[in-house]
Structure 1
Amino acid sequence: MINYKIVSKRIAIIISALIGLMAAVFIGLYFFNKNPKILQKSERTITIWQPRNVEEDMANSFIMPDVKYGYELLTQTQKYLGPQAENPKMRLSGNNLKCTSCHLDAGNRPGSGSWAGVTQRYPSFRGRSNAMGTIQDRINGCMERSMNGQKIDIDSREMRAMVAYMDWLSEGIPEDEVKKVSGYTKLDPPNTAVDLNKGQQIFTKHCIECHQEDGQGLKHEDFKDGYVYPPLWGDDTFNDGAGMHRVLTAAQFIKANMPYLLASREKPVLTDEEAYHVAGYINSFKRPEKANKEKDYPDLKLKPVSTPYGPWEDNFTAEQHKYGPFPPIIAYYKEKFDLKKSK
């Protein structure tokens, strides 16, 4: 027997639902007519990463204390960690260079070992130690070689601050951008040895205005501020275990950055050959000696071809490892070990 009460209730529910649906449609149409864009798909906003304006941000923005201290350490290294540090225990750097003598524009310049994104690349394998290394290891490598000094305690406030600054520079950088700004620049070495006479001529034409004829740079009037332009050889510069003492590494840096404020990674001033010869000239002079550098690169196959000190995994002369020509050495490692080398 049909229960008419139940049927009529169900019909009432269906009618109510239909009325509600129609009301929703009419309301939707009303608002759509008032604002047709309401149902249109919004366009995606693409934000292009831009390097920080470090000086402006430091002056006008709130900066975490660790980041600011890291900035000061890296841009005034001689004052906080060098021979001029007030606390003798903090005199860990052996020269009056600053980290930003090479890592230009406060470590933010592509083609000069930019720190933007650098902390994302570590831990990574390091051929010099034949082991995985941290960003702290990398910093200490610079301290012992480029700064001709001692390691910083990895748990110290100073180390934390340096890494914090590098992290701050790296905020928001996409992975593909890290590859663009890191390292130096590509250089094709000529199939000839460095010509020191050509190197001297190029140095005289392009370099002495800043670094002076004797290569000893230009000091600030108050030497507490270190150098305006750093010395390139002599007692107060990087030692012979530093990467910059390799002709090919130095040439890559020079090509992208020198003359300062005139050259860039995108628009170099010097040709590959000019950068090559002047790099050889700069590295023909005496500089501090790094102790125990013969222990570098336990796997000798991984040693850069322009490393000027032995031992090596080949029979090329020490002279050729220092001054080239390098293409035959590069070809040897490719043929024998299937290793592609660029420096």
Structure 2
Amino acid sequence: MTSAITFLFLKGCEQHDTEPLVSPNETNLDVYAQNYDPATLGDSEEDAIIKYGFQLFSQTPRYIGPDNGDQEMVFQGNRLACKNCHLNAGTKAYSAPLIGIIQRFPQFRGRENKMGTIQERINGCFERSMNGKMLPEESKEMVALVKYLEWLSRFAPEDGKIKGQGFMKIFIPNRAVNLENGKQVFSKNCAVCHTPTGKGVMDANGYTYLYPPLWGEDSFNHGAGMARVITAAQFIKANMPFGTTYDAPELTDDEAYDVAGYINQQLRPQKAHPEKDFPDLLKKPVSTPYPPYADDFPLEQHQMGPFQPIMEFYKTTYNITKNK
């Protein structure tokens, strides 16, 4: 596994669509085959902002991480980069691609129970996947990140919906996570990149991770979407080990499920005041690893399953269909 489960950023980081989506407005244009190389941009002021956005996306901690040299510019608590979750600089199918993300906002977010802007969504990643704090919306860095996302979205349909949006749907095993099997899957498929301790490998630049940590102080906190077993398993299935694509997965659904559970049972930073998430508890994903819940199922079951009984409870009691 590589550049991967670190997650979070924009759409790593939290309530992504899990079904393959094709917009009714979509043409035959293959959005994934278009030019997303910032090196081909010119020298205009706008191009410079887009290039800076790309640099922030690719080397996030270099500019706003704990070691950037300016304490007033520290907005991360870890050393992940946006690219660690949104692979191929935000352009890989079923890796929460950011193509079309601009057109999909404003967007209702169950975690906040309100319509949210793209800036608020980015800051959700900074508080969770980056284990940090919010960027000022008027800052040069926020403007540059949004400009980069606008540039990525220029070939998307009007509503922004594309095939490969969000994460790949999997069959969720009707059982609890098997931690021993998850450990074996990790050792066989993930440790070669992320190391046996899960702490990752730093890039030669000294700022970012070549292979990001999956737990520990430099990983995402427990409030991130990737801290949910179902979400992590969906990401893993389509993208890991590194180089995997959705149409040729290497792991089975059971293996992705177990290794996701194993990874998320390891120690990681804890987000402050997680109880404030999901003001409407009925909108809380069943695999959210922290309370409170609108049900009486134990914390361990919300963290490691089986999830089907919880899903059935919401369907029977509230007529709500949950898939994560």
TM tier, smaller: 0.7 to 0.9
Report the alpha carbon displacement of residue 49 of structure 1 after superposing the two structures with TM. Answer: 3.3
After TM superposition, the score normalised by the length of structure 1 is 0.83
Residue from 255, 266, 274 that aligns with 2:247: 266
The percent identity for this pair of structures is 51
> For residues 47 and 135 of structure 1, do their structure 2 counterparts lie closer, same or farther at Cα, with a shift above 3 Å needed?
same
Which residue of the partner structure matches residue 244 of structure 1? Answer: 226
Distance 2:104 2:290 in 1: 28
Which digits, 9 at most, give the CA deviation of each residue in 1:87-137, with x for residues without a partner?
Answer: 221110111110110010001111111110011111111111111101111
Determine helix, strand or coil for the equivalent of 1:228.
strand
Residue from 285, 292, 313 that aligns with 1:304: 285
Q: Does 1:186 align with 2:169?
A: yes
Stretches (4+) displaced over 4 A? none
Alignment of 1:169-180 (within 5 A): 169-175=152-158, 178-180=161-163
Which residue of the partner structure matches residue 315 of structure 1? Answer: 296
Determine helix, strand or coil for the equivalent of 2:108.
strand
Amino acid at match of 1:247: V
Q: Does 1:135 align with 2:125?
A: no
Q: Does 1:327 align with 2:308?
A: yes
Report the alpha carbon displacement of residue 222 of structure 1 after superposing the two structures with TM. Answer: 3.9
Determine helix, strand or coil for the equivalent of 1:179.
coil
Which digits, 9 at most, give the CA deviation of each residue in 1:50-99, with x for residues without a partner?
Answer: 33343xx3223326111111101111001011112232211101111101
Q: Does 1:221 align with 2:204?
A: yes
After TM superposition, the score normalised by the length of structure 2 is 0.88
Distance 2:160 2:122 in 1: 22
Determine helix, strand or coil for the equivalent of 1:256.
helix
Give yes or no for contact 1:207–1:259 (8 Å, CA) kept in 2. Answer: yes
Which residue of the partner structure matches residue 41 of structure 2? Answer: 61
Higher relative contact order structure (alpha carbons within 8 Å, sequence separation ≥ 6): 2
Alignment of 1:64-213 (within 5 A): 64-175=47-158, 178-213=161-196
Q: In the comparison of the two structures, how many residue pairs are matched?
A: 294
Amino acid at match of 1:60: T
Which digits, 9 at most, give the CA deviation of each residue in 1:314-337, with x for residues without a partner?
Answer: 111101000000111111111211
Which residue of the partner structure matches residue 9 of structure 1? Answer: none
Give yes or no for contact 1:118–1:182 (8 Å, CA) kept in 2. Answer: no
Which digits, 9 at most, give the CA deviation of each residue in 1:135-170, with x for residues without a partner?
Answer: 111000000000000000111111111111011011
Determine helix, strand or coil for the equivalent of 2:163.
helix
Which digits, 9 at most, give the CA deviation of each residue in 1:167-205, with x for residues without a partner?
Answer: 101112125872313211101211100000000010011
Amino acid at match of 1:255: K
Residue from 280, 284, 295 that aligns with 2:276: 295
Determine helix, strand or coil for the equivalent of 1:311.
coil
Distance 1:74 1:177 in 2: 20
Q: Does 1:276 align with 2:257?
A: yes
Amino acid at match of 1:153: P
Which residue of the partner structure matches residue 342 of structure 1? Answer: 323
> For residues 177 and 149 of structure 1, do their structure 2 counterparts lie closer, same or farther at Cα, with a shift above 3 Å needed?
closer
Choose 166-175 or 71-80, whichever is displaced more: 166-175
Gaps of 5+ in 2: 1-26
Amino acid at match of 1:284: Q
Q: Compute the RMSD of aligned alpha carbons.
A: 1.4
Distance 1:150 1:176 in 2: 30
Give yes or no for contact 1:101–1:230 (8 Å, CA) kept in 2. Answer: yes
